Amino acid sequence: MASNHFPPLLILLFLVICWEGTTARSSFILGDNKKLSRDFDPSYHVQHHLHIVKKQNSSIRAFFAHPLWASGSISLSVGFTLGIFAFVIWRLTIKRYIKPYPNKEPITNPTLFSPIIRSINDLLFLYSEPSPSLEVIGRGACGEVYKAELFTGGQFITVAIKKAVHFSPMLDTSNLCKVESKLLEHQMRQIKSEILTVGRMRHPHLVRLLAHVPNQEHHYLVYEFMSNGSLHDVLRSEAREKLDWLNRLKIAQGITAGLEYLHILHRPRIIHRDLKPANILLDENLNARIADFGLAKVVPEAFSGAVSSARVAGTLGYIAPECYNTLSYTDKSDIYSFGVILAVLVTGMFPSDKFFQTTDEPSLVPWLRRMVSSQDPSEAIDPSLLRIGFEEEMILVLKIACFCTYDDPAESPTD
């Protein structure tokens, strides 16, 4: 019955207080901080903040270690009272790391989203223009992306820093010309979308947002660094040689797991709306991480239909056809984009390739359908993948790609 009346975290704290008797057991329950920083399973926050409570409240820990606790002589009612007390401490501690942003309020305060960065003071250098020595690893519509070595918690970690929203501190938004004002508003919506989605999520196939730092001229979003860059860049470079079939299949499976989390496991559900190879990042082991939630939409909890948009969102070649007509997005919009990515993985070709200007088909998807239904579907496979013994498996993945990219979304899979 207790589980029907008290939060699972409160019950967990209660059990810890009542039955913790040895250092070994305490270490097992609270875990090692270095391991927790890499842990993505659903108990991540519970374990980590229990660790913080233990570390910051030495007097309470000493009291719990008293022999009376091991002997079980303290009454259940006292344990329950202390459980509530520990829960209050946990609630106060978690606010240090996660501070919710109301949708309609301006984003003005720096925020940490992960204990990997120990203090906002470690990011004070972002209140001035980034050092010219920082390596620029990418450029987008909002600005540069830097690679930086950050000293925090007594060690160096590598992070990626996205500089977004440039505006003059001498000008108020209301005084900007209409075009600049609309652009600024759009960029701010993208920043809020990142914070309200990936800033709150933990999954091994999503890139983690570590911190947000605003100053007078820019907003900086700090992410974990992905050493192998984007799937787009790898496939377009000489590094594509390391993407053998097994690695490409692993990447496809990773994207599938990430979408399952966004569409099914996470509440509220999230529709990404801009899945493409450039937004699939690869870590040191070539595991796929879905990135860039600037266009993502949160689906209301009690709402199962499509989310509307004022304009078409996404990247040409990866946008589901129905989105152009309805300006509405569902989880099947992401599935269509995923199908195109599958086609890219197997064929090594992109929707924007000039090759399609010389064929009867205007883009990758219609060309793929024709090839898959031909007498020799293997002609659609990336030549670098042929003659390695997995052709039947590759053709099967191409058929799945066609299944995901049906013109009628009712014909495509959900997940």
- DSSP symbols for 392-410: HHHHHHHHHHHHHT-SSGG
- DSSP symbols for 246-307: HHHHHHHHHHHHHHHIIIIISSS-EE-S--SGGGEEE-TT--EEE---TT-EEPPTT--SPE
Residues 6+ apart with CB under 8 A from 3: 11
Given the residues 122, 274, 283, 334, select the one marked as catalytic: 274
CB atoms within 10 A of CB 154: 6
- DSSP symbols for 36-105: HTT--STTHHHHHHHHHHHHH-HHHHHHHTSHHHHHT-S-HHHHHHHHHHHHHHHHHHHTTT--PPPTTS
Distance between CA atoms of residues 303 and 316, nearest Å:
28
- DSSP symbols for 351-393: TT-GGGGGSSSSSHHHHHHHHHTSS-GGGGS-GGGTTSS-HHH
274 classed as catalytic: yes
Distance between CA atoms of residues 266 and 301, nearest Å:
10
Beta bridge partners, 271, equal: 297
What's the distance, CA 4 to chain centroid?
Answer: 32
Residue type, 168: S
Contact 175, 87 (CB under 8 A): no
CB atoms within 10 A of CB 98: 14
Structure tokens at 139: 């450029």
Active site amino acids? 274
